[in-house]
Amino acid sequence: MQARISCPANSFKAITDIQKSERMKAFSMKNSVFLLAILVLTYTLHIEAQQCHPSGRIRGTNPPPDQCNQENDSDCCKNGKYYTTYKCSPPASSSTKATLTLNSFQKGGDGGAPSECDNQYHSDDTPVVALSTGWYSNGNRCLNYINIHGNGKSVKAMVVDECDSTMGCDSDHDYQPPCPNNIVDASKAVWKALGVPESDWGEMDIYWSDA
C-alpha cells in the first residue's frame, strides 16, 4: 500500500501568500517603471519648452554709404549672408549667463535712435543696457535695474532699450545684424564699473539677474 504524503493547510497558505507577494512585487515594479517613464518624459518636455530655438533667418544687404556706425567695432550686415533671428532668450534666473557687449546710447553713438523704453538718449557715463528680445520681454523690464556680475565685480544698470533679435540689416537697425538671443548690450560706464581694461572692451561672459 502506497503511503500518502499529507501537506498541512498552513503550507498551502504560505505558498499562496508567496505567490501573491511575487505578483504584487512584479506589479509594483511595472508601475514604478511606468511612473519613471512618465517623469522622464515630463522633464524632457519641460526642458524642451525652456529651450530657445531660432525663429527664422534674414538675408543681409550691404549698408549704404555712411550707414552702420562702427564706433564700438559693431558688425555691419554683408550682402547675401543669412542671419539667424530669435523671438526668445534662454530662461532668466537668479544667475543668468549672458554675453556682455558694448554700445553707445548717446546721440550720435552706434546705438542709433533714442532708447526704446523712454525715447531718450543716455550718456556713455550712465550705466544702462539693452537686452535681447526675449529678456526685454516686450518692455516689461523697461527702466528697471539688473545686477551684472563679471570680471570679479558687480554693477547695477538700468534697462533702457531692446537689442532686437528678431530683425536687422535695415535702416531702422543701422544695417547691423540681428542681436543674438543672449546679449546684455552695455554702455561704457558698465564696462568701467566692472574694472575691464578699455583694450579688452567688446565681449565678455557675465551673469545677470533682476535687481
pTM for the predicted model, two decimal places: 0.75
Phi-psi region of 4 (alpha: psi -120 to 50; beta: other; left: phi over 0): beta
Q: How much is the pLDDT for 188?
A: 97
Other C-beta atoms lying within 10 Å of the C-beta of residue 84: 14
Instruction: From 159, 149, 27, select the one nearest 100 (Cα to Cα).
Output: 149
Q: What is the pLDDT along the chain (211 residues), one digit of tens a residue?
A: 555 555 555 655 656 666 666 776 665 666 666 666 565 444 443 343 358 999 999 999 999 988 888 877 889 999 999 999 999 999 999 999 999 999 999 998 777 789 999 999 999 999 999 999 999 999 999 999 999 999 999 999 999 999 999 999 998 888 999 999 999 999 999 999 999 999 999 999 999 999 9
Which CATH homologous superfamily contains domain 56-210? RlpA-like domain (2.40.40.10)
CA dist., res. 158 & res. 147, Å (int)? 9
Residue type, position 97, single letter: K
What is the sign, positive or negative, of the torsion defined by CA atoms of 117, 123, 124, 126? negative
CA dist., res. 180 & res. 99, Å (int)? 9
